[in-house]
């Protein structure tokens, strides 16, 4: 069973949260509400999120301040943030949003289709990264289990595991390639394109490490680092 990604919706107005849920329900992911910046930060302490939709104008801790706290935490600093605002004070206001770490800045009222499409891209990237971390963990287990043996020796003892790892990685590679092609146009968000490129680099590194375990290739166990 594929685990659903979590999307954090932050807005002090219940009707806005309800509207966001209606727009994003078609993505079939887990939508988590937060009615303030403080509540959002509390949710981020325990759960991992694919993307955060953050209202700018909130009483107390506004969206900019909330984003600053998110970006200061090592656990949450890489989560994409999409700012939503009902006001537009011109380029300076927009620049402040990007300076706070947002990957996008959308003014209300917004096109539901556009918002859903933007969120879906980051959900897909998040899911691919989760799959990649799983493959890296399996490969590390294989390397640790082989001890001081050569890659060929380890492969002879567990050909089934290597075949499963290779098949799973191939599926992720195929999906990542399709996603990259989807993003390969001028309208794609720069942040999404950069994240996809980073994912492809990690996939290439993991494929090389896996290939080194195959009999007759490589000269020693490859190094596999934690994927984030």
- The domain boundary, picked from 59, 89, 110, lies at 110
Residues spanned by the domain of 190: 119-213
CA dist 51 and 116 (Å) reads 12
Torsion of CA 58, 64, 66, 71, to 10 degrees: 160
What strand order describes the sheet that includes 81-85?
A: 30-34, 6-10, 51-55, 81-85, 104-107
Residue 32 lies in a domain: yes
Residue 12 lies in a domain: yes
Residue 226 lies in a domain: no
In this structure, are 13 and 74 located in the same domain?
A: yes
pLDDT at site 156: 47
pTM recorded for the entire structure:
0.65
Residue 177 DSSP code: H
Tally of domains within the chain: 2
Residue 16 lies in a domain: yes
CB hemisphere CA count around 197 (13 angstroms): 8
Strand duo 30-34 + 6-10: pairing:
parallel
pLDDT at site 181: 65
Tracing tokens 């996603």 back to the chain, one arrives at 179
In this structure, are 39 and 126 located in the same domain?
A: no
Per-residue pLDDT of the chain (228 residues; tens, 9 = 90+): 458 999 999 999 999 999 999 999 999 999 999 999 999 999 999 999 999 999 988 999 999 899 999 999 998 988 999 988 876 655 556 666 666 667 788 888 888 998 999 899 889 888 888 877 777 777 667 666 655 444 444 444 455 666 666 666 676 666 666 666 666 654 556 656 666 666 666 667 666 666 666 555 444 444 444 444
pLDDT at site 155: 45
pLDDT at site 78: 87
pLDDT at site 106: 84
In this structure, are 12 and 88 located in the same domain?
A: yes
- The domain boundary, picked from 110, 137, 169, lies at 110
In this structure, are 78 and 125 located in the same domain?
A: no
In this structure, are 185 and 142 located in the same domain?
A: yes
Residue 127 lies in a domain: yes
pLDDT at site 186: 47
In this structure, are 58 and 101 located in the same domain?
A: yes
pLDDT at site 33: 97
């Amino acid at each position: 069973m594929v685990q659903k990604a979590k999307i954090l919706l932050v807005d002090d107005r219940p009707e806005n949260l309800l509207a966001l849920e209606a727009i994003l329900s078609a993505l079939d992911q887990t939508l988590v509400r937060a009615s303030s910046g403080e509540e959002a930060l509390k949710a981020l302490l325990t759960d991992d999120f694919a993307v955060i939709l953050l209202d700018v104008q909130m009483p107390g801790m506004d969206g900019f301040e909330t984003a600053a706290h998110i970006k200061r935490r090592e656990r949450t600093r890489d989560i994409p943030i999409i700012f939503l605002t009902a006001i537009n004070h011109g380029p300076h206001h927009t620049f402040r949003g990007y300076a706070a770490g947002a990957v996008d800045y959308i003014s209300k009222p917004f096109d539901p289709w556009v918002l859903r499409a933007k969120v879906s891209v980051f959900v897909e990237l998040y899911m691919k990264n989760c799959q990649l971390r799983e493959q890296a963990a399996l490969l590390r287990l294989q390397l640790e289990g082989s001890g001081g043996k050569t890659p060929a020796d380890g492969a002879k003892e567990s050909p089934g595991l290597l075949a499963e790892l290779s098949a799973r990685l191939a599926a992720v590679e195929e999906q990542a390639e399709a996603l990259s092609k989807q993003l390969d146009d001028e309208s794609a968000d720069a942040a999404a394109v950069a994240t996809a490129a980073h994912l492809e680099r990690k996939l290439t590194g993991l494929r090389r490490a896996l290939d080194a375990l195959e009999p007759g290739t490589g000269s020693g166990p490859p190094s596999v680092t934690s994927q984030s």
